[in-house]
Structure 1
Amino acid sequence: MNYNLSILEQCCKEFHLELSERQKQQFIQYYELLAEWNKVMNLTGITQWEEVLLKHFADSLSVTRVIDLSQAGSLIDVGTGAGFPGIPIKIAFPHIKVTLLDSLNKRINFLNEVIGQLGLEGITAVHGRAEDIARKPEHRDSYDVSVSRAVANLASLTEYCMPFVKPGGCFISYKSGTIEEELVQAQKAIKTLGGRQDPPATFSLMNSGITRSLIKIIKQTPTPRKYPRKAGLPTREPIM
């Protein structure tokens, strides 16, 4: 197959990124593995090349609208699924030490295959729930950046993701659709967990008509030790 990378190249130009030939090949390899594994396990409902470029790869890299990742040393992707946004970020910013966290072991097997096939270094796939992994000393208050494209309420996501961030770092949530009500509902959780929210960045993804928002929460003080609460509680009973 002849892979046309123009969508990704246009996206990178918009985000002031320049990909080497090796990085472009890594994105192609990633797509091929995604399409192959998706035949036997449900990784994504988006499988067409140009759709993956736009809705997975370009979308993952859109985080550069709200943060200069060239200055970040470490990043954790919470609820990474098929590796979005963590793997595209790692390909584009190979200097960042990346942790991919997911609760489904089958996905971890896929992620490890991608890491091996693409020759990525300084990236680890971790199997577990955020509520448990965030209590481990090697992960607590340890990351410059926490990101998540997981579909969950912002108040719940903040409780899952903020404990991983070191004070002075940030949590960035990828959102679609209208977010105003969700932002209002999440304010108590953000404050309780030691954060301060920047104004959200809302934009059309590559002029596609797909509206995306990036919500950046700066961690000002350490998250109280009682958070995150035990498994399932942040989803069932978000801090509001």
Structure 2
Amino acid sequence: MLIPENEFSALFEKGKMTITPGQYAYFCEYAKMLVDWNEKINLTAITDPEGIALKHFYDSVYPFTLCEVPKGAKVIDVGTGAGFPSCPLKIMRDDISLTLLDSLNKRIKFLQELSQSCGLSAECIHSRAEDGGHNAALRESFDIACARAVAPMYVLCEYCLPFVKVGGAFTALKGSSGAEELGEAKEAIKRLGGKTEQVTEYTLPNGDGRTLIVVRKVSETPAKYPRAKAKIVK
């Protein structure tokens, strides 16, 4: 279900990351579960071993080597889907405390089994982002909120920044058009209490373009946010 250990380690070494045998074993289990569950529910269009290694695992972990992830950070992955990017990050950084939030209960069941099988100790929450952002137990209580390929940047900001405590960060993993999306989101970021801190463009080993955007939370998000999805889009 995954490429051989020496090839997997060599791939990660291209990003100056070191894989232990224990981490590789967890990634193998993750890949197997992803393919098996994908036959029952739609988790991913990428199911080949090379694609999983590069476009799911490497692509999830590498961006977090380009920005600060404090030791013991509380991280929430908003609209996590099959657990990307935070579950691969948790395999590499066992010190973080992880919360997974998704709107589809079938995916939450997958994530609960994944968490148990791969020792992630993640809290899995079935909720829409716009509802979770108003939950007092979750609102402004995380060091980092992250998201990958969930929605346009201006929408993502409203989904994610309400979860971040002042001083924390919203980390968005975007494609090659990330900087352009950021331009459309500047006003939303300011209104939600954020300030763009980092924009890093890079490429995967296969040449695909990516953009890492880090938005620092500098003030509390006004209570009316996040709004319903239809209002955000409008």
**Matches of 1:24 and 1:86 in 2, distance apart?**
16
Q: CA deviation at 1:9?
A: 2.1
**Matches of 2:28 and 2:177 in 1, distance apart?**
32
Whether contact under 8 Å (2:166, 2:217) holds in the other structure is yes
Q: Percent identity?
A: 40
1:62 and 2:67 matched = no
Q: Relative to 1, partners in 2 of residues 1:137 and 1:21: Cα closer, same or farther, differing over 3 Å?
A: same
**Matches of 2:26 and 2:114 in 1, distance apart?**
9
Q: Relative to 1, partners in 2 of residues 1:113 and 1:186: Cα closer, same or farther, differing over 3 Å?
A: same
Q: Relative to 1, partners in 2 of residues 1:35 and 1:2: Cα closer, same or farther, differing over 3 Å?
A: closer
Q: CA deviation at 1:16?
A: 4.3
> SS of the residue aligned with 1:69?
coil
1:226 and 2:224 matched = yes
Amino acid at match of 2:199: P
> SS of the residue aligned with 2:101?
strand
Whether contact under 8 Å (2:78, 2:129) holds in the other structure is yes
TM value normalised by structure 2: 0.93
- What's the CA shift string for 1:61-109, capped at 9, x where partnerless? 0222432325352100001001101110111111111011100001001
**Matches of 1:218 and 1:6 in 2, distance apart?**
37
Amino acid at match of 2:212: L
Higher mean C-alpha displacement, 196-205 vs 62-71: 62-71
Whether contact under 8 Å (1:149, 1:174) holds in the other structure is yes
Q: Relative to 1, partners in 2 of residues 1:159 and 1:128: Cα closer, same or farther, differing over 3 Å?
A: same
Give aligned pairs, total.
234
Q: CA deviation at 1:112?
A: 0.8
The equivalent of 1:216 in structure 2 is 214
1:151 and 2:150 matched = yes
Q: Relative to 1, partners in 2 of residues 1:46 and 1:92: Cα closer, same or farther, differing over 3 Å?
A: same
The equivalent of 2:73 in structure 1 is 73
**Matches of 1:112 and 1:57 in 2, distance apart?**
18
Higher mean C-alpha displacement, 155-164 vs 71-80: 71-80
Q: Which runs of 5+ in 2 are unaligned?
A: none
**Matches of 1:6 and 1:130 in 2, distance apart?**
39
Q: CA deviation at 1:150?
A: 3.0
Q: Relative to 1, partners in 2 of residues 1:7 and 1:130: Cα closer, same or farther, differing over 3 Å?
A: farther
The equivalent of 1:100 in structure 2 is 100
Amino acid at match of 1:226: K
1:160 and 2:159 matched = yes
**Matches of 1:220 and 1:2 in 2, distance apart?**
41
**Matches of 1:44 and 1:89 in 2, distance apart?**
18
**Matches of 2:52 and 2:2 in 1, distance apart?**
15
5 Å-filtered alignment, 1:180-191, equals 180-191=179-190
Q: CA deviation at 1:14?
A: 4.5
The equivalent of 2:40 in structure 1 is 40
The equivalent of 1:30 in structure 2 is 30
- What's the CA shift string for 1:198-220, capped at 9, x where partnerless? 241111112x1110001110111
Higher mean C-alpha displacement, 80-89 vs 195-204: 195-204
Amino acid at match of 1:187: K
Whether contact under 8 Å (1:202, 1:213) holds in the other structure is yes
Whether contact under 8 Å (1:165, 1:171) holds in the other structure is yes
Amino acid at match of 1:21: P
Whether contact under 8 Å (1:70, 1:93) holds in the other structure is no
The equivalent of 1:176 in structure 2 is 175
The equivalent of 2:129 in structure 1 is 130
- RMSD of Structure 2 on Structure 1 (CA): 1.7
Q: Which runs of 5+ in 1 are unaligned?
A: none
Whether contact under 8 Å (2:164, 2:217) holds in the other structure is yes
